[in-house]
Amino acid sequence: MLTDQEREEIEAELRRYPDKRAGCVEAMKVVQRHHGWVSDDSLKSLALLLGMTCEELEGVATFYNLIFRKPVGRHVILLCDSISCWIKGCDALRGHVTSRLGIAMGQTSADGRFTLLPIVCLGACDHAPVMMIDDDLHGDLTTEQIDHIVERYP
């Protein structure tokens, strides 16, 4: 089920396209903004709204790495593992973050606070190594800084 608020936001997105289907990624992102992820129920309602079959919409949903088809934590950490960050030591950072949060890449912490995911180049290579938490970009990372930054996301 979609809430009225979600429907309203989705309708606004759809107005930018001549075809409802074209708005499907934006529509799923609206759902994610409210729930963090796209559940089977949401997917079914969205498919109906967009005039797509569930299979078609699922095919799109699973193609994109930033559409989440499983629940995620309150905050999503995207740790860049592309070349410039690798040169600048992102492997060591990953080791530090996984042990500090007690989860492997792709997992969510038991308290539901963080989901940890790898991400491709974030286009901020002059500040490598970098990561994003939710909508915020953090660069020039060291293990000490990561500890401080993570504290800002309760």
Partner 1 sequence: MERPLTQRIRPQADPMNLAEYEDTGGYEAARKAVQTMAPQDVQRLVTDSTLRGRGGAGFATGLKWSFVPMGLDAPRPKYLVANADEMEPGTFKDRLLLEGDPHQMVESMVVSAYAIQAEVGYIFLRSEYKRAARLLHKAIAEARSHGYLGRNLFGSDFSFDLHLHTSAGRYICGEETALLNSLEGKRAIPRSKPPYPQTAGLWGKPTVVQNVETLYNVPHIVRHGVEWYRGLGHGHEGGTKLYGVSGNVKRPGTWELPMGTTMRTILEEYAGGMCEGFSFRGLLPGGASTAFVTEEHLDLPMDFESLPRAGSRMGTGTMIVLDDRTCPVGFVRNLEHFFAQESCGWCTPCWEGLSWTERILEGLEEGRGRPEDLDLLTMHTRLIGPGRTFCALAPGAMDPLQSALKHFRADFERHIHERRCPWREQGATIGARR
Are 123 and 136 in contact by the 8 Å Cβ rule? The answer is no
What value, to the nearest 5°, has the Cα angle with vertex 48 and ends 45 and 52? 125
- To partner 1, the closest distance from the beta carbon of 110 in angstroms equals 26
Cβ neighbour number for residue 103 with a 10 Å cutoff: 18
Are 29 and 76 in contact by the 8 Å Cβ rule? The answer is no
87 binds partner 1 per the rule CB under 8 A: yes
- To partner 1, the closest distance from the beta carbon of 54 in angstroms equals 14
- To partner 1, the closest distance from the beta carbon of 120 in angstroms equals 6
- To partner 1, the closest distance from the beta carbon of 82 in angstroms equals 4
x-or-dash pattern for partner 1, window 2-31, by CB under 8 A? --------------xxxx-xxxxxx-xx--
Are 97 and 117 in contact by the 8 Å Cβ rule? The answer is no
Three-class secondary structure of residue 114 per DSSP: strand
Size of the site for partner 1 (CB under 8 A): 47
Q: How many CA atoms lie within 13 A of 135 on its CB side?
A: 2
What value, to the nearest 5°, has the Cα angle with vertex 71 and ends 94 and 80? 25
x-or-dash pattern for partner 1, window 52-81, by CB under 8 A? x------xx--xxxxx----------x--x
Are 69 and 37 in contact by the 8 Å Cβ rule? The answer is yes
Contacts with partner 1 in 93-132 (CB under 8 A)? 119-128, 132
For partner 1, which is the closer residue by CB, 119 or 146? 119
Binding site for partner 1 (CB under 8 A): 16-19, 21-26, 28-29, 50, 52, 59-60, 63-67, 78, 81-84, 86-92, 119-128, 132, 135-137
